[in-house]
Structure 1
Amino acid sequence: MSDRLEIIEVLARYVRALEERDAKAVAALFAPEGAFEIQSRSGREAYATRVTVTGPDKIQALMESGTLPATRGNQYFTTDHIVDIDGDEARMDAQFLTVESNVEGTAGQNWPVGSVMLQGALALSMAGHYASVLRKIDGRWALTSHRVRHNLPMAVPPAK
């Protein structure tokens, strides 16, 4: 597999781990000094950093602290991957959309009589792009910096 495809696959593994709420798998994609940031903006203003954590252990802890209710899930779609490789260093920028699924209860619970197939609702919940820096370590690409850049303003609760 080419380096470009391996780099894009890192992002594919990242979003699938998010969908499965597998914080350990997300953290494993980062280099030991890897940094994760969440940024947001309104309109064309500059991005403001809302959350920053460094190191796989802290990234895993952040992912485990998620507040998405059990009856909700997210599906992440990435596109327009721009990859620039310089030896063992690379930069990738990819657009993303996130669709949230919401269902009240589990299969069969509180469903109207005669309901079949899928229940619940889907809503576009996030849009933006991922700005990532990667390094090849021991033959595999790892994230050294991963910025989630939301194209919507964001309110972040104060740290506890």
Structure 2
Amino acid sequence: MSTERQIEEILARYVRASDNRDGAAQAALFAPGAVIQMWSRTVDGRYVEAAPEFHTEDIEHAVATMIKPHPPGGFSHHVTTDHIVTVDDEKAHISAQFIVYEVRTAPEPPVRPVESGYFEIDLELRDNAWKIVRSDVKMDLPLS
């Protein structure tokens, strides 16, 4: 498997762990001490901090408390597109657009987009495995 494909697969595992509310699986993709930062776009196009940054050691707690749980019969699907992967020896970056779809049994519509933005993720090769060292989640919606 090419390095670029390995990086894309890490992003796929990252969003699946988020959809499944599986903080342990998500944390396993990160290097110790990695930084995760959430951003929100303002009406004038700038990004502002949406939540305090947190680190690998906080991921399980953050997934359990920052992401609202799915209601009975509900789920979410992150869809990522337009992956741009750059690799420089033992460092890599992936930039990808995302849309999050909410899936509900009721009310209508049962599937609807609820979030969109960009993932900007830096990775490093550590002990022969690519690990996330920084993840910036840049959400399109302003803070409410």
What TM-score do the two structures reach when normalised by structure 1?
A: 0.81
**Structure 2 counterpart of 1:152:** 141
> What are the superposed Cα offsets for residues 112-136 of structure 1, whole Å, 9 maximum, x if unpaired?
xxxxxxx971111011110010001
Number of aligned residue pairs: give it: 141
Map 1:111-150 onto structure 2 (within 5 A): 121-150=110-139
> Contact 2:33–2:57 at 8 Å: present in 1 too?
no
> Radius of gyration: which is bigger?
1
Q: Tell me the equivalent position of 1:3.
A: 3
Residue of structure 1 equivalent to 2:51? 51
Stretches of structure 2 lacking an aligned partner (at least 5 in a row): none
Q: Distance in 1 between matches of 2:103 and 2:141?
A: 19
Identify the residue that residue 28 of structure 2 maps to in structure 1.
28
Query: The residue matched to 2:50 in structure 1 has which SS?
Result: strand
1:84 partner amino acid: T
Whichever residue aligns with residue 12 of structure 1, its letter is: A
**TM-score relative to the length of structure 2:** 0.90
Q: Say whether the 8 Å CA contact 1:134–1:142 is kept in structure 2.
A: yes
Tell me the percent identity.
30
CA RMSD of aligned residues (A): 1.7
Normalized per residue, which structure has more strand?
A: 2
Q: Does 1:92 align with 2:94?
A: yes
Which consecutive residues of structure 1, in runs of 5 or more, have no partner in the other structure? Answer: 105-118, 156-160
Measure, in 2, the Cα distance between the counterparts of 1:131 and 1:24: 21
Distance 2:59 2:37 in 1: 10
**Alpha-carbon distance in 1 for matches of 2:77, 2:57:** 24
Report the secondary structure of 1:74's partner residue.
Answer: strand
State whether structure 2 residue 71 is matched by structure 1 residue 70: yes
